[in-house]
Amino acid sequence: MTPRAWAAGTLVVLLVLLAVYAAVTIPWHRPPAPRADQLAALGQLPREQVSRAREFHSALRPGSYGALAVGLLVTLVLGLTPLGAWLVTQAGRPFGGNWVAQALLGGLLVTLAGEVVTLPFAAWRHVVVVRYDISTQSWAAWTADLLKSWAVGAVIGAVALLGFYTITHFAPRWWWAFGGFGAAGLVVLLSFILPVLVEPVFNKFTPMPDGPLRTSLLELADRDGVPVRDVLVADASRRTKAVNAYVSGIGPTRRIVVYDTMLTEATPGEVVSVVAHELGHAKDDDVLTGTVLGALGTAAAVIALYLLGSWAGLLRRAGVDSIGEPRALALMLAVVSLVGIVAGPAQSFVSRRIEARADEHALGLTGDPATFEAMQRRLGTVNLSDPDPPTWEYLYSASHPSTVERMAAARAYARGDR
């Protein structure tokens, strides 16, 4: 068999494994909370709160969707014309056209182009969140976080690109096999190291002081059978007034993290309710599920890129000879971006199902639907969430059930509808 035949067969196997694993681990059959309960919950929210939240999201949309459209346009122009290949060539020229320089500096140049053209939209978003009293950041602090984000992305991207193009350079016929395996391994590695190495770049974490709340959270985790290493408080207030909590890490790196804003804005019972939701993710191995799905999907994407390399018309349009060469980097990013946009609604659908299961877990673990509903009301109020977003936006990008869905789920649980 030829390498292409092996690649096609392996891609089919990976897609079958991906489908089977997703079918087994994702809670597909979770009907939304009754619409009547949702409307009742919406009617009980303060009208001025709902109006302000909707105004906030209306103000955000031009920047959010503008950045998406402009970023995609730039990516397609660079990837589907010789311009992207020219930029990569120019980046490597001071080093004699070395493929390593093309991969690293070309990759930085191409990705930076997208970041720069969408920077005005990011600044627009900052203006809006400051105007609506969500962000506490000055322009200097915002810029510092932006540069940190770019730096982290550059480091991770450099490692990925150098590894990928090293494989394509030394194994031009079989790079799909080594590259797919390496990409899957990188996804797994990042799942372990990102909470430990990257989160501290943006926040400071301190152990929660001994007291009733810390004891309650540790007892909750113990009762749930989810071992955690520590309970930490993140200094989120230096950036935002939004409230949140999460369980971070896998295995020995797992810890409960609570925003300091939540400690001042929410009651202890509401904090417990949020953490119970997050423990549900750990209990059901949602991070592991996402890691496995991500690894399988990434490996499949690498092989699909290899097979796409035989599309002469596409390569000719991009001005490259092979999709495995560094000069085709912009083309690869264009393909990945298009696939990401098309797959976005499906990813959001899956995420909502997983979040709904975690909500159900929280209700069962605490047995306190009234506090769960109060917590959802608190989250929506402080974070200015649209309690009942437009259907098109909900289907396209909502990663969580809406506020009224979650409040309605608590009411259904209280009636015994489980």
Catalytic residues: 278, 359
Q: Which of 391, 273, 398, 366 is nearest to 35 (CA)?
A: 391
- 195 vs 60, 201, 257, CA distance in Å? 28, 10, 11
- Is the distance from CB of 128 to CB of 230 less than 8 angstroms? no
At 27, which amino acid appears? P
Residue 43 to residue 36: CA distance in whole angstroms: 11
Residue 30 to residue 355: CA distance in whole angstroms: 11
The C-alpha angle 32, 35, 40, rounded to 5 degrees, equals 130
- 184 vs 104, 170, 191, 396, CA distance in Å? 20, 19, 11, 27
Is 373 flagged in the annotation as binding?
A: no
Beta pairing class for 255-259 and 205-207:
unpaired
Q: Mind giving me the DSSP string for 243-257? A: --EEEESSGGG-EEE
Is 360 flagged in the annotation as binding?
A: no
Residue 208 to residue 231: CA distance in whole angstroms: 6
- 236 vs 89, 265, 399, CA distance in Å? 42, 13, 21
- Is the distance from CB of 103 to CB of 179 less than 8 angstroms? no
E-state strands within 50-138: none
Is 281 flagged in the annotation as binding?
A: yes
Residue ranges of the binding site:
277, 281, 355
Pick out the residues of the known binding site for Zn(2+). 277, 281, 355
